[in-house]
Amino acid sequence: MSAQDGPILIIGTERSGSNLLRLVLDAHSRIAVPHPPHFMRYLSGIPYNGDVDAMVGDAMWLLRNHIHPWPHAIDRAAVAEAAGPSLFGVVSAIYDQYRVAEGAARWGCKSTFMVEHVDEVLAELPDARFLWLVRDPRDVAASAKRAVFGHCHPYRMALRWAAEQGLARAALERWGPEVVRLVRYEDLVSAPDREIRAICDFIGEAVEPAMLAHHLSGNARVTASLSASWRTAGDPITTARIGAHRRGLSDRERRQVESVAAGAMEALRYPFDRSSLDEPAPGPLGVVLRGFAVRLAVEARSLRTDRNHFRRWRRDATVRRLRRRAAPGRALFLAGESR
């Protein structure tokens, strides 16, 4: 694989416009970016101890229960034959098989949780490139509050946002701007021609007109139809959701977000009210109870509106089953590590 054919990974925090950027990239004739089953997020904590067959089996099980089914069947035997010895080696083999089925030259992954695995990716695929997608944490928290993905409580979402921006910045500092590029959501939707051109320059591809009309693709329509949390995937690029927190967060929630995200907000050019630095952290019990209440409302709406609601429940049950099955092995693994 040449440097120009290396994979493209979107990293950062969910609810930051990653579906938009995924579909923009997927609209390019040389790039295939399926909706991610989040293999590394759900499987990386399982101590496989180099058992490639077990890794492949669990990854294929997760793929079968994916909340956004892939249009192509993935051959388990071919994945096992092509996979490297690591979990990401298995993930790469799965994505590469999808790329071939799509007739593309390179694949992409929009699982923003890959921000925790940048070094692992580069150890397996040194030609990988990363798009660090960042969005105003107040808007991220407002979006997550209504979505079936992410923490419903804005304070918890802000903690995740701050931690993940720290990981992304560390990756940029470690690997440099030739490998990691910062993309601000607000810039992408305000000046899409300029930003998409800059992204294409970074990944070594020519701009294609279809990238600016991503919402017309079949993939965009399918994504938008599956969940209310993804309904904007079928919309043209718009600035309408900049500042969504003004409607989606209370003043207290905004201050709570700013209180924990202020350092990263300042570094990433997001103005905030400095008086929020004095906002006390909410009590743990209050966070749990409020988050649970909001989650119930979100799940009730999802039952009415989402085509993939029960697939998501089945996926979550699959993940719990895999982790329970691995629990004894994990305990033994950790005991061995402590000796």
For residue 132, the 8-state DSSP code is: E
- Averaged pLDDT, 231-239: 94
C-alpha 208/C-alpha 45 separation (Å) is: 39
Burial class (CB in 10 A: 0-12, 13-18, 19+), 145: buried
- β-bridge pairing 31-32 and 129-134: unpaired
What pLDDT was estimated at residue 325? 86
Residue 107 has pLDDT above 90, yes or no: yes
Q: Which residues contact 326 (CB under 8 A, 6 or more apart)?
A: 45, 46, 47
Each residue of 120-175: pLDDT tens digit?
A: 999 999 999 999 999 999 999 999 999 998 888 999 999 999 999 999 999 999 99
Q: Which residues contact 330 (CB under 8 A, 6 or more apart)?
A: 45, 46, 47
Q: Considering the entire predicted model, what is its pTM? A: 0.94
Residue 332 has pLDDT above 50, yes or no: no
Domain with residue 238: its CATH number is: 3.40.50.300
The SS3 of residue 131 is: strand
- Percentage of the chain modeled with pLDDT above 90: 91
Each residue of 22-37: pLDDT tens digit?
A: 999 999 999 999 999 9
Q: Identify the CA nearest to 217 among candidates 17, 20, 27, 25.
A: 27
Query: Which stretches of the chain are assigned E, i.e. beta strand?
Result: 8-12, 31-32, 106-109, 129-134, 180-184
What pLDDT was estimated at residue 335? 39
What pLDDT was estimated at residue 150? 81
What pLDDT was estimated at residue 151? 81
SS (H, E, C) 80-103: HHHCCCCHHHHHHHHHHHHHHHHC
Neighbours of 5 (CB within 10 A): 15
Element (H, E) at 230: none
The SS3 of residue 51 is: coil
Residue 333 has pLDDT above 90, yes or no: no
Mean pLDDT of all residues belonging to the chain: 93
Matching residue, tokens 């992204």: 199
Where residue 281 falls among pLDDT bands split at 50, 70, 90?
A: very high
C-alpha 204/C-alpha 148 separation (Å) is: 35
What pLDDT was estimated at residue 216? 95
What pLDDT was estimated at residue 323? 86
Range of the domain at 77: 3-338
What pLDDT was estimated at residue 336? 42
Where residue 53 falls among pLDDT bands split at 50, 70, 90?
A: very high
C-alpha 296/C-alpha 47 separation (Å) is: 33
What's the domain count of the chain? Answer: 1
